[in-house]
Every structure is written in structure tokens, then in C-alpha cells.
Amino acid sequence: MSEAAPEIERPEPVRPGPDRDDEAEHEFGVSSEFVNGVREKLEDGRIGEVEAAVSDLHAADLADLVEQIGPDHRGALIDILRPGFDAEIFAYLSPSLRDVVVDQLEPRELAAAVAELESDDAVDLIQDLDADQQREILENLPPETRALVEEGLTFPEYSAGRLMSRDLVSVPQFWTVGKTLDYLRTETDNLPEDFYDIFIVDPMHRVVGAVPLSRIMRQKRSVKVGDILTEDIRTVSATTDQEEVAFLFRQYGLVSAPVVDGAGRLLGVITVDDVVDVIDEEAEDDLLKLSGVPDTDIYRAVLDTTRSRFSWLFVNLLTAILASAVIAVFEGTIERIVALAVLMPIVASMGGNAGTQTLTVTVRALAMRELSEANALRVVAKEALVGTINGALFAVIIGLVAGLWFADPLLGIVIGSAMIINLFVAGLCGTLIPLGLARLKIDPAVASAVFLTTVTDVIGFFAFLGLAALILL
Amino acid sequence: MSEAAPEIERPEPVRPGPDRDDEAEHEFGVSSEFVNGVREKLEDGRIGEVEAAVSDLHAADLADLVEQIGPDHRGALIDILRPGFDAEIFAYLSPSLRDVVVDQLEPRELAAAVAELESDDAVDLIQDLDADQQREILENLPPETRALVEEGLTFPEYSAGRLMSRDLVSVPQFWTVGKTLDYLRTETDNLPEDFYDIFIVDPMHRVVGAVPLSRIMRQKRSVKVGDILTEDIRTVSATTDQEEVAFLFRQYGLVSAPVVDGAGRLLGVITVDDVVDVIDEEAEDDLLKLSGVPDTDIYRAVLDTTRSRFSWLFVNLLTAILASAVIAVFEGTIERIVALAVLMPIVASMGGNAGTQTLTVTVRALAMRELSEANALRVVAKEALVGTINGALFAVIIGLVAGLWFADPLLGIVIGSAMIINLFVAGLCGTLIPLGLARLKIDPAVASAVFLTTVTDVIGFFAFLGLAALILL
């Protein structure tokens, strides 16, 4: 068994980090050079060249172009895209620019474009418009499309019902593979463009299973689909939250899943491309909420953005004033030892940062379902311990620095002790706050950071200045 | 045209926010009750019941169970899973627990389990093991599997070559639909379990196009695949970074993409389920780097976690000491007006928060390719303006508060002016720092936050205390 040990030769690991955002090296998508080129052509009035440049672009790339071209050239670009406007572009546009483009198109143009969309994309677009715009578009849609879209809008926002497409392939279980293939060959006009599973339904149109296309293709024509179906498939209720849908696809590596009503009847299908969008949205959501930003739309108007950021900053101002009130309690102490004023931001800042580390891990673990009641206690204890150990390490460092700086060993002991206390509190609150909020059914991402920094500021200043008043005076 | 306006009836939008993290309401995955139930059965030694409970679980759910059961019961659970261990579990386990499980299994058991995996999953598992473990497993693998895995390991880490599976379906372009179907029906053993596209290759095995399964199924047997292929498909080079791959799938809604070598020859296929993992990883990456956490692995040992958090906190300590040094410059001023010590954290804290808002939006926009050289200047100008407007608003608020609190209107003017300056700087640096780092090919997520808070702390203290020294003394 012991031959020459195999040499595992391979290049040094290349981390994507360093050059991940260098546009010039992106292989796919529109480049800055391309955008600048279109801009120049628009400025020179070379309309035909712009038409040629954009004619082969995927809707997603067109949307990027509309976004990046800037407000001065956007109107002219949209006018060029206007004849037979591809409504799929909307699916990829930032919300604020979606409104801009919608406003520029006539209701009839818009309705004609929307009529070309699959029902889920049409619902996705229309749900965000205001009531007047919705009405105008719906009035101009063909009756069947309109009925599907209106039905889609009856499902709760962020539900599987809004995500699903009504275009799917379902056959009864007594059909053979051959009959199914023949059906697909004759019904080509009524089939969705892309599908990955054929759903098998009973006479009441309830889902009894699914056959992936890759399986049906391997079977002889005489085989019954009922004999090759996967029975144990995961169906999604139309009212299921989209986050739950994302979990389902991620957990089990699905490419499509059937959506059913309360009685188990097949309503529609959700495909993985829609779920990828949801995954992006949810990840973004956590990131933004932890930083107190309501959205990532870099195309929103200045005043809208200012207003949307104001409220988080206002809450932060209140907590900062609270921290100042704590400092004010020790005004007399600071007056006598001004070194305290110099050093006091350090303890609070370290607590805030250590707490944010813990908080981020906890919020992410909650979102990814890694943290549950089954292991919560263990994680809290671990984070408190991590905080205490790091607190002790930094106590030694800052204790030496402060003691030498102000030639006062006692001052070093004071700041070191405060550091241990605050980093222990940071570890404890960095887990307990999000877990507590989740328990109270409040989204932990949105409120945890404010609570946490309030605690680490207040405890940081109070421990440092309080210990100083006790020990140094 | 003006009939009765259609009533758009629909329920009030239900935001997933409030109850998103209530375990009891999750429809899919393992529940805390289930985990606790298994734990109890293990404690009572009811092994048969545990075997029954876990026998139907998907590998992803088994992995969650192994994670959440806790260290005291993990060994016993793995012993139960041991006969015919399903190596797919590894794909879903936290890295630190992966090591724990690998250590508990014999090399032969491990190799037998790995041999059952598709080549991409085997590579994914083996690449993270240490050299000895790699060698032991590779030695025990069947020769063909071993060759595929060793070849997979020659591609750079985080590249398409590591992500791709070697199991795919390709046919020459002169084949008919009928011949292709017959081939699929006879070759069942050598086909991948799931596939979504059939790749069409020329005699040199270069990719000339693809036919989605949903299209080939609609065609008559006599049609040539060369006549129904999509020519304009996006191929991925084996050395392409996985983040670029994620962009490709997200941008164009793909479910699979062919991977080619330098000469355009077909090497493998990447499917969307692998890309979903990459998207999760990349989103997590940004979140963690902005908070200074190296990973989200809540199962890492306490000392490992402590060490991994230390370095970020250490950098933060240096910037906090730098801020203290700025304060120290104004020691004399603070000694005379102790109110300054009380108020000074406010300006720095508001600058830090406003800057973080801007930074988060910028980093995310860079990651999602919404921000490029084509629109960078506009975004910088916008954020600086947003910062200045919010700075002015908060200047009025804090100016009044501080002026009344310390009965000194001039103090109000000083803190208000410092606020405007710091929030303008926060907006400017919150965009310029990540853009500058991206330009220097440094990952903006990892280093921006430190630079930013250093700037907002230093400017915050300097502007406030400096103006105070100028105006109040």
C-alpha cells in the first residue's frame, strides 16, 4: 500500500481578492469603455451607431448601460431603445431608474412591452408602480395576461406567489414518456421557453411528483411517467415567504419547485434564476441593515438619499448624546485628570468594534439558519469568552501604553480593567441582542447595531471613568 | 377607453421582516425540536430510533444536524452515520466541523465515501484538507476518480476549474435529435444525474453551441442538433475567477455553462447550484470584511476565533490611539473647558456612522458592478452632497442641544460647524477610499472601514477641538 507518495502539484492558491474590482479585467458584462463609447456617440448624434452597438445586448447588459450612461444621456438612449422596447430591461434596473424609464414611455408602449413578459416578470414590474400607472398598464394589456397579472398581485408581497411563473409543463401520471414527448412537440407554442422539470398531477391537478428533463430523456417511450417520477419533492405554498423559498433552493440545490394552493393544486413554478435574485436581495438586506442604510440604489436623487439616511443618523445622535451624558457625570474627575479625556474614546471604540464582529457573525448565522435554540447558549458563552480573552490581551497592551504615556501605572490598570469589562460585555451583547430581537420577532439585522453601540459606549465610558474616579482620585 | 377603472384588490403587503427568524415557522430544514429530540435519543442510547430518524434526511439536513447537535453528542451521531457515510454531507458542513468529521473517519472509509461524489464535490472537499489527509484519501481512490480529482486540484483556487464538474453531455453537431435521444437512452450509466444543456462540439472537441433540454424535447427526431443550437453561448475559461462566474450566471440567468481550456475545448460544466454557493460566499465575504471578521464559522474553537479577531482589533487600537493623540494636542483646551470632553465623542461618532453608510453602499455597488469608472465621479459628488446636507441638519440639532446644555451659544456654533465638516468628509471618504483601493487592486471591503473611521475620528476630534480652541479661548 505504501508506494511512492503521490506528489500533489498545483499552483499557489490565487485569492480573488486583490483584483476583484478591476473593471478592465471583467470578462462579462458591459465595460466602462463601452459605456463611454455609447455616450460619445450620443453626443455626436451618431444614432445609427448606437443602435448597432446595443442591438445584440442582453436585457441585463442594456439595463447596466441605461444605469451607467448618466442622467444627461439617459433620455436619448431610451428614445433609441423605444421601438419595441424590451420590458425585460426593467427586471434588471435600479428601482429609481425603473420609475424614470416608465415615466418616459407611453402607457400603450409600456403595455405592449409588458405583454411580452412572462407573468412573474410582469407582476414584478407592476407591483412597484403607483396605482395610476398600474391601472393604465393593466387596461392596455390583453385580457388573459391581465387576468394572470391581477391574480399574481393578490398574493402577499415577498411571497412565492409573486415569484412564480404560471407557464409550466404538467402531465397526468398515466401518460407514457412517448406521449409526453409528442405532447411537447405539438404544444410548442404554449410551453414556457425554459423548463427543467415536468410536474405530474392527479385528476384534481394536485402535484404527485416531478420528472427532471434529464431523466425523461433517458427513458424508453413506453415507460409511464408515473413510474419514473420523484414522489418526495418539495412543494412550496403560494403564501410562503421568499426567504423560505431561497433557503429551500439553497439547501437542496433545486433548479425549480412547484407552487401549490392550500389544497395542493399546482399553481405555478419557481425557477432558480428568480431565487438567485432573492438570495442577492436578502444578503444585501443584512449588509445594509447592519450599516443603517435603507437601500443600495446609487441612482436615487440626492434629497431622497439624504432623507433615507437621516433617521438612522438621528437615532445614532441620541445614543451619542446618551454617551455624553455618561461622560458628564464624571466632569469633575476629567477636570482633575485631563488624561482621562484623551484616553476615554479608546475603550468605547474597542468595545464597539469587538461587539460588531460578534454581532455580524450572529446575524449572519441566524440568516443562514446555523444558529437556533439548539445551539444558542453555546454560542453566547463562546463569544463572551472570546471577548474576555481578547479583552485581557488588549488590557495588557493599552495598560502599558497608557501607563508609560502618562507616567502613571495606576492609569494603566484603570484603562486595562475597563477594556476587559467592555470586551466581555461586547461579546455577550453582540450575541444576546440579536438573539433576543429574533425571539421577539424583530429583524435582528435592523436594530441590533444601535443597541449594541449604545451599550458598548455607555459601558465603555462608565467603566473607564468610574474606575478612574474610584482608584485615581 | 374610459370604462370603470379596474379595482386592484389585493391584501396589504406582508413584509417578511418581523417573523423571519422564528424557527418554529420554518417550513423546510431541520427544526430545533428535531435536533433536541435526536440529542435525547442519543443520551438514552436509543440508537435504532436515531437511525430511523436520520435515514430519510437529505445530506444538507444531516449536515445541519451534525452542526447543531453540539460537541458532546457529535461523536456518537457520526458513529451512527458511519456505515456507508454520505460524503455529500461535507459539502454542507462548516469548515471546522468538516475537519472534526474527517478526523473521526478512517482513511479507507473516507475514500469510499469520496469515490461516490461527483468530481467537483470531491475536489471541493479534498482541497481544504491538509497534505497528509489528501494523500491518504487519494491513495485509496479508484484510479479514474483519482486522476479527475488530481486534475481538478491543478486549477487555481476559486477558479471555474475547481467549480466545474467533469460529467457532462456533449454531442457532435451533425447528430440528429433522434440519435441524441437514442444515445442518452443507451448511455444512462455514464451520464451525469442532472444536466440542463447538451453541448455541441466540433471534431476538435471545441464548443460550438448548446441546446437546452427543454428545446431538444420539442423537436422532431429528424432535426439536426446543429440547426437548433444556440451559438451565442457564454463559455467560461477554466482559470476564470469564481466571482466572475457568479456574475455571469446572475446577469444572464443561466442554469449551466460550459468550461473550456485555452483552445476552446470543452473541459467541464458549471451548474447553478454551485454558483448559488459562490454567491452566498461572496455576499458573506463583503459583510464580514466590512465588520473585520475573518469568517462566520460559529463552530470554530474559542482560541482560533480569538486569534482571528485579534488582528482587526489591534489595527483598530492603533487608530484609536491615533485619535487620542489628536485629543492630546488639545489637552490644554479641554482642561479649561471640560464640556468639550463631554461633547467630543458626538462629532466623531456621527462621522463614523455617516461614513459607514456611504461606504457600505459603495462597496456593495462595486461588488455588484453597478459602480464603474463611467459613473464614479457622479456618485462621489452625490455622496459628498448628501453628507453636507445631513451635516447641516444635524449641525442645527446638536448646536441647539449643546448650546442649551452648557448655556453657551458659541459652543453650539463650534460643534455644529465641526459636524458639517465631518459629515462632508465622511461622504467624500466613504466613496473615495473604496474606489481608490479598488483602483489599486486591493479588495475595498477589507481595508476601507479602518481607513474611513481613522479619518472620521481624526477629523471629528480635530475639527471640534480645533474650532473650540480658536473660537472659545
Q: Does residue A167 have a pLDDT over 80?
A: yes
Which of B158, B186, B216 is at the close of a domain?
Answer: B158
Q: Is residue B284 part of a domain?
A: no
Half-sphere exposure of A143 (CA within 13 A, CB side): 0
Instruction: List for chain B the helix, strand, coil content (%; round to 5).
Output: 65, 5, 30
CB contact under 8 Å between B390 and A442, yes or no, is no
Q: What Å distances lie between residue A215 and A275, B56, B181, CA to CA? A: 23, 22, 11
Could you tell me if B94 and B133 lie in one domain? yes
The CATH number covering residue A136 comes to 1.25.60.10
Strands in B207-212's sheet, in edge-to-edge order, are B170-172, B197-201, B207-212
CB contact under 8 Å between A361 and B293, yes or no, is yes
CB contact under 8 Å between B341 and A353, yes or no, is no
Residue B118 DSSP one-character state? -
What nine digits make up the cell of B285?
Answer: 465575504
Average pLDDT value for residue range B124-144 = 85
Q: Does residue A192 have a pLDDT over 90?
A: no
pLDDT greater at residue B188 or residue B240: B240
Which range has the worst mean pLDDT, A107-111, A303-307, B40-44, B77-81?
Answer: A107-111
pLDDT of the residue at B169: 94
Distance, CA of B169 to CA of B207 (rounded, Å): 12
* pLDDT range class, residue B26, cuts 50, 70, 90: confident
Q: B218: which chain A residues are within 8 Å (Cβ-Cβ)?
A: 184-185, 188, 191
Which range has the worst mean pLDDT, A126-135, A416-425, B191-200?
Answer: A126-135
Per-residue burial over A188-200, b if 16 or more Cβ lie within 10 Å, else e, is eeebeebbbbbbb
pLDDT greater at residue B135 or residue B349: B349
Residue of B nearest to A239 (CA): B14
pLDDT tens for each residue of A37-70 = 999 999 999 999 999 999 889 999 999 999 999 8
Tally C-beta pairs within 8 A across A and B.
479
Distance, CA of A225 to CA of A231 (rounded, Å): 11
pLDDT tens for each residue of A304-313 = 899 989 999 9
pLDDT of the residue at A356: 93
> Residues B371, B17, A433, CA angle at the centre, nearest 5°?
95
CB contact under 8 Å between A8 and B153, yes or no, is yes
pLDDT of the residue at A2: 40
CB contact under 8 Å between B320 and A356, yes or no, is no
Could you tell me if A84 and A132 lie in one domain? yes
Residue keyed to cell 490581551: A393
Could you tell me if A235 and A331 lie in one domain? no
pLDDT of the residue at A435: 95
Residue of B nearest to A358 (CA): B293
- Rounded to the nearest 5°, which phi and psi values hold at B224? -80, 135
Q: Does residue B285 have a pLDDT over 70?
A: yes
Distance, CA of B68 to CA of B458 (rounded, Å): 44
Q: Does residue A16 have a pLDDT over 50?
A: no
pLDDT of the residue at B7: 41
Could you tell me if A54 and A148 lie in one domain? yes
Could you tell me if A409 and A441 lie in one domain? yes
Instruction: List for chain A the helix, strand, coil content (%; round to 5).
Output: 65, 5, 30
Helix (H) or strand (E) holding B229: none
CB contact under 8 Å between A306 and B390, yes or no, is yes
Average pLDDT value for residue range A404-421 = 97
pLDDT greater at residue B15 or residue B232: B232
Average pLDDT value for residue range A90-99 = 87
Q: Does residue B17 have a pLDDT over 80?
A: no
Distance, CA of A335 to CA of B424 (rounded, Å): 32
Tell me the nearest-neighbour CA distance from A191 into chain B, angstroms: 9
Could you tell me if B134 and B76 lie in one domain? yes
CB under 8 Å to B94, separation ≥6 — which residues?
A370, B67, B297, B298, B299, B300
pLDDT tens for each residue of A425-438 = 999 999 999 999 99
The CATH number covering residue B250 comes to 3.10.580.10
Q: Does residue A279 have a pLDDT over 80?
A: yes
Q: A18: which chain B residues are within 8 Å (Cβ-Cβ)?
A: 441-443
Distance, first Cα to last Cα, chain B: 75
CB contact under 8 Å between A16 and B343, yes or no, is no
Could you tell me if B433 and B310 lie in one domain? yes
Alpha helices of B406-443 — where are they, by DSSP H? 409-439
Tell me the nearest-neighbour CA distance from A185 into chain B, angstroms: 4
pLDDT tens for each residue of A243-276 = 999 999 999 989 999 999 999 999 999 999 889 9
Q: Is residue A226 part of a domain?
A: yes
Among residues A332, A355, A367, the alpha carbon closest in space to that of A466 is found at A332
Average pLDDT of every residue of chain B: 89
Q: Is residue A2 part of a domain?
A: no
Cβ-nearest to A345 among B290, B324, B367: B324
| Backbone Cα Rg of chain A | 30
Which of A157, A181, A196 is at the close of a domain?
Answer: A157
3 state DSSP class of A206 = strand
* pLDDT range class, residue B445, cuts 50, 70, 90: confident
What is the per-residue DSSP string for A27-44?
-SS--HHHHHHHHHHHHT
Q: What Å distances lie between residue B410 and B404, B406, B413, B451, B471, CA to CA? A: 10, 10, 5, 32, 8
Could you tell me if A468 and A380 lie in one domain? yes
CB contact under 8 Å between B382 and A288, yes or no, is no
Could you tell me if B256 and B386 lie in one domain? no
What nine digits make up the cell of A94?
Answer: 435600479
Which of B256, B271, B286 is at the close of a domain?
Answer: B271
Q: Do the beta carbons of residue A84 and residue A72 sit within 8 Å?
A: no
Distance, CA of A264 to CA of A200 (rounded, Å): 12
Predicted ipTM of the assembly: 0.85
Which range has the worst mean pLDDT, A7-16, A219-228, B186-195, B242-251?
Answer: A7-16
Residue keyed to cell 462621522: B351
CB contact under 8 Å between A21 and B243, yes or no, is no
Alpha carbon of residue A321 to chain centroid: 32
Residue of A nearest to B178 (CA): A217
Strands in A256-260's sheet, in edge-to-edge order, are A236-237, A256-260, A266-271
Looking at chain A, how many residues does it have?
A: 473
CB contact under 8 Å between A16 and B251, yes or no, is no
CB contact under 8 Å between B342 and A331, yes or no, is yes
Q: Is residue A190 part of a domain?
A: yes
pLDDT of the residue at B1: 38
CB under 8 Å to A198, separation ≥6 — which residues?
A169, A170, A171, A180, A210, A211, A213, A216, A225
Average pLDDT value for residue range A5-25 = 40
Could you tell me if B108 and B242 lie in one domain? no
Could you tell me if B90 and B230 lie in one domain? no
What is the identity of the amino acid at A435?
L
Q: Does residue B416 have a pLDDT over 50?
A: yes
Residue of A nearest to B130 (CA): A8
Task: Identify from A194, A349, A359, A446 which residue to disrupt to test chain B contact, counting B C-beta atoms within 10 A and taking the largest count.
Answer: A349
Q: Is residue A22 part of a domain?
A: no
Among residues B313, B315, B300, B320, the alpha carbon closest in space to that of A392 is found at B313
Residue keyed to cell 419595441: A84
Q: Does residue A20 have a pLDDT over 50?
A: no
Could you tell me if B150 and B195 lie in one domain? no
What is the identity of the amino acid at A130?
D
Distance, CA of A397 to CA of B60 (rounded, Å): 44
Q: Do the beta carbons of residue A161 and residue A267 sit within 8 Å?
A: yes
Q: What's the structural domain count of chain B? A: 3
Tell me the angle at which helices A59-68 and A32-43 cross, rounded to the nearest 10 degrees: 70
Distance, CA of B239 to CA of B18 (rounded, Å): 43
Q: A256: which chain B residues are within 8 Å (Cβ-Cβ)?
A: none
What is the per-residue DSSP string for A281-299?
HHHHHHHHHHHT-S---TT
pLDDT greater at residue A400 or residue A127: A400
Average pLDDT of every residue of chain A: 89
Alpha helices of B330-408 — where are they, by DSSP H? 331-336, 339-367, 376-405
Q: Does residue B202 have a pLDDT over 60?
A: yes
Residue keyed to cell 497534505: B131
pLDDT of the residue at B393: 97
Residue keyed to cell 479625556: A341
Q: Is residue A285 part of a domain?
A: no
Q: What Å distances lie between residue B167 and B194, B313, B341, CA to CA? A: 9, 46, 67
Q: Do the beta carbons of residue B114 and residue B106 sit within 8 Å?
A: no
CB contact under 8 Å between B331 and A312, yes or no, is no
pLDDT of the residue at A15: 37
CB contact under 8 Å between B214 and A194, yes or no, is yes
pLDDT of the residue at A118: 81
Q: Do the beta carbons of residue B258 and residue B236 sit within 8 Å?
A: yes
pLDDT of the residue at B20: 37
Q: A343: which chain B residues are within 8 Å (Cβ-Cβ)?
A: 324
* pLDDT range class, residue B11, cuts 50, 70, 90: very low
The CATH number covering residue A439 comes to 1.10.357.20
Residue keyed to cell 465588520: B291
What nine digits make up the cell of A284?
Answer: 444585501
What nine digits make up the cell of A338?
Answer: 485631563
CB contact under 8 Å between B214 and A213, yes or no, is yes
Distance, CA of A57 to CA of A67 (rounded, Å): 14
pLDDT of the residue at B25: 57
- Rounded to the nearest 5°, which phi and psi values hold at B269? -135, 140
Q: A286: which chain B residues are within 8 Å (Cβ-Cβ)?
A: 287
**Pseudo-torsion of CA A187, A190, A193, A194, nearest 10°?**
-70
Q: Does residue B274 have a pLDDT over 80?
A: yes
Q: A288: which chain B residues are within 8 Å (Cβ-Cβ)?
A: 360-361, 364
Q: A159: which chain B residues are within 8 Å (Cβ-Cβ)?
A: 14
Q: Is residue B380 part of a domain?
A: yes
**Pseudo-torsion of CA B140, B144, B146, B152, nearest 10°?**
-160
- Rounded to the nearest 5°, which phi and psi values hold at B192? -65, 155
Structural domain of B216 = 170-271
Q: B284: which chain A residues are within 8 Å (Cβ-Cβ)?
A: 283, 364
* pLDDT range class, residue A25, cuts 50, 70, 90: low
pLDDT tens for each residue of B313-352 = 999 999 999 999 999 999 999 999 999 999 999 999 999 9
Q: Is residue A16 part of a domain?
A: no
CB under 8 Å to A58, separation ≥6 — which residues?
B251, B252
Helix (H) or strand (E) holding A230: none
Q: A36: which chain B residues are within 8 Å (Cβ-Cβ)?
A: 374
Residue of B nearest to A57 (CA): B252
Q: A94: which chain B residues are within 8 Å (Cβ-Cβ)?
A: 370
